[in-house]
Amino acid sequence: MTNMSAAHSTNPLRDPQDRRLPQIAGPCGLVLFGVTGDLARKKVMPAIYDLANRGLLPPGFSLVGFARRDWANEDFAKVVHDSVRENSRTEFREEVWKQLAEGFRFVPGDFSDDVAFDKLRQTIEELDTTRGTGGNHAFYLAIPPSFFGDVVGQLKEHGLSEGPGDAWRRVVIEKPFGHDLESARELNKVLSDVFPSESVFRIDHYLGKETVQNILAMRFANAMFEPLWNSNYVDHVQITMAEDIGIGSRAGYYDGIGSARDVIQNHLMQLMALVAMEEPTSFDAASLRLEKQKVLSSVVLPKRLDLTTARGQYAAGWAGGEEVVGYLDEQDIPPTSTTDTFAAVKLNIETRRWAGVPFYLRTGKRLGRRVTEVAVVFKRAPHLPFSSTQTEELTENALVIRIQPDEGMTIRFGSKVPGTAMEIRDVNMDFAYGGTFTEVSPEAYERLILDVLLGDPPLFPQHEEVELSWQILDPVLAHWAKKGKPEQYEPGAWGPDSAHAMLARDGRTWRRP
């Protein structure tokens, strides 16, 4: 998944066999919009420090902050310092900090402020001469999507969207990528008016996780899984992303959006695509994308959405030993809100490989525990040469990919219980990432930011994938909109009754993750 630029191939000190040498990004800088937000402080800034600490940023790398604050460069440096101190993954080292801090600049201003964007252009030009960033800059929009249009418009107007000569300009955005198909298209239009689609990097931080990338390695580097990976052997697939917390202080963002738009549309659809896709001809961005798009475009919703989807809102109660308020009592949530905090859908993939194998996707807040996993549940053996009492405790075999926390993989199968009687019971076989490759795995944001700077696109979804996902979800959202209030569910458990009923209708049950 690497993209060797022309400079690399002629560099006599580079050798593809030299795997000790890390890929260091070329000369470049990052312009960060929304420096005061949670995303910037908790994820982006620490990831930049961690990259520098691992020696992966080029000498002269510069970070420009842009916000409506009356700050000098030093004040900005202080903010970055605090966020790094609090949230960086690797230890704090003075010399690394020194290297970074020289490249900090701050531009105060509003998104509609022409003077500020002029100043931004001057700052970038100054950095190109004093720091050698070579005209290569990425614009990281850690701001609400409603401002994307203003910012990219300003970037274009002030000649910031195109670099001098063959220098690159890239734009990085975070979810939500719209709230339905139409708004996603509008958003894409806004961006594509200014930046070509290969310069737009949409961050889905799940795709930066090692375990998610390992789905591809597991499926396509091994001989023993792929033969089972089809409707002959797989009964169904469950993809779960659960959080034990409520919405916290994110009412403004969350209300009106809800869990299906927040999680299913992006993270879970991407996970499903990776689990279900055919083998790509290579691991470059175009081939991967092609296979993901093929899967997404073969997804068909069941006819009766009332029987095959579920949604809910967490009620007040006790979760994990603490008394918690219900969604409707959360701060700044209107008591009439119909926003879903739990959503589950059943999807069918109409291909030869997956015909008749439903994919159940669920997500929710205030559930039993924080967990994300993909469970591939196999059919029972077609014939059991044992009596039913002997296999009473044997359920279906399953392969569970644990995305977070405790990353790894579990295989569940039946085994004889020691003793004179033949009795078969489920056992688990475990592979823990933490036990085999401890500590090397970098934070998803480090990987993704480095990929942006290297211009390496395989882990970033393009607008086609985003739009296909909305196309799948839109009818479900429309169906729910007609149905009024979501069902209340008990906090700290595994969602509303309708979610359990939805699987029971198919003769299945949700796993307890």
Partner 1 sequence: MIELTDTNSSAIAAAFVHGRTQAGSPAMGMVMTLVIVVDEDVADDAMEAARAASQEHPARVLGVIVGDGRGAAHVNAQVGIGSGWIGETALIRLSGQVVKHADSVVLPLLLPDSPVAVWWPSNPPADPAADPLGALATRRITDAAAASSGKTLAIYSQCESYAPGNTDLAWTRITAWRALLAASLDQHPLKVRRASITSERISPSADLLGAWLSDRLKVPVDRANSSGPGITEVVLETKEGPIRITRTDGKLATFSSPGRPDRPIALKRRDLPELLAEELRRLDEDNVYAATARRLVALGKKK
Which residues, listed in sequence order, are joined to residue 416 by a DSSP beta bridge?
Answer: 424
Cα angle 239, 241, 245; round to 5: 160
Using CB under 8 A as the binding rule, whether residue 383 contacts partner 1 is answered as: no
Q: 80, 16, 14: which is closest to 50 by C-alpha?
A: 80
**Contact region for partner 1 (CB under 8 A) — 113-121, 298-306, 334-342, 426-434?**
426-434
Q: How far apart are CA 123 and CA 121, in angstroms?
A: 5
Closest to partner 1 by CB, 136 vs 293, is: 136
Q: How far apart are CA 212 and CA 196, in angstroms?
A: 27
One character per residue 430-459, x = contact with partner 1 (rule: CB under 8 A): xxx--xxxxxx-------------------
Q: Cβ of residue 102: shortest distance to partner 1, in angstroms?
A: 6
Number of Cβ within 10 Å of residue 135's Cβ equals: 19
Using CB under 8 A as the binding rule, whether residue 223 contacts partner 1 is answered as: no
User: Which of 1, 8, 145, 390 touches partner 1 (CB under 8 A)?
Assistant: 8
Using CB under 8 A as the binding rule, whether residue 14 contacts partner 1 is answered as: yes
Using CB under 8 A as the binding rule, whether residue 22 contacts partner 1 is answered as: yes
**Contact region for partner 1 (CB under 8 A) — 16-24, 204-212, 236-244, 485-493?**
16-24
The reply to whether omega before 405 is within 30° of 0 (cis) is: yes
Closest to partner 1 by CB, 356 vs 405, is: 405
Using CB under 8 A as the binding rule, whether residue 89 contacts partner 1 is answered as: no
Contact 96, 53 (CB under 8 A): yes
Q: Cβ of residue 442: shortest distance to partner 1, in angstroms?
A: 13
8 catalytically annotated: no
Which residues, listed in sequence order, are joined to residue 237 by a DSSP beta bridge?
Answer: 359, 376
Using CB under 8 A as the binding rule, whether residue 27 contacts partner 1 is answered as: yes
Q: Where are the beta strands (DSSP E) in 40-198?
A: 62-67, 104-108, 137-141, 169-174
Single out the catalytic residue among 81, 267, 463, 479.
Answer: 267
Using CB under 8 A as the binding rule, whether residue 307 contacts partner 1 is answered as: no
Q: Which pair of tokens denotes residue 312?
A: 């809910």
Q: How far apart are CA 476 and CA 305, in angstroms?
A: 7
Q: Which pair of tokens denotes residue 200?
A: 């737009």
CA atoms within 13 A on the CB side of 423: 8
Closest to partner 1 by CB, 45 vs 187, is: 45
- Pairing outcome for strands 487-489 and 169-174: unpaired
Between the two ends of the chain, the Cα-to-Cα distance in Å is 32
User: Which of 3, 26, 229, 353 touches partner 1 (CB under 8 A)?
Assistant: 26
Using CB under 8 A as the binding rule, whether residue 149 contacts partner 1 is answered as: no
User: According to CB under 8 A, which residues from 38 to 77 bind partner 1?
Assistant: 52-53, 55, 58-60
Cα–Cα distance list, 264 to 132, 187, 268, 367, 500 (Å): 42, 19, 5, 16, 18
Using CB under 8 A as the binding rule, whether residue 224 contacts partner 1 is answered as: no
Give contact residues for partner 1 (rule: CB under 8 A): 5, 7-8, 10-15, 17-22, 24, 26-27, 52-53, 55, 58-60, 93, 95-96, 98-99, 102, 129-132, 134, 430-432, 435-440
By annotation, the residues acting in catalysis are 267
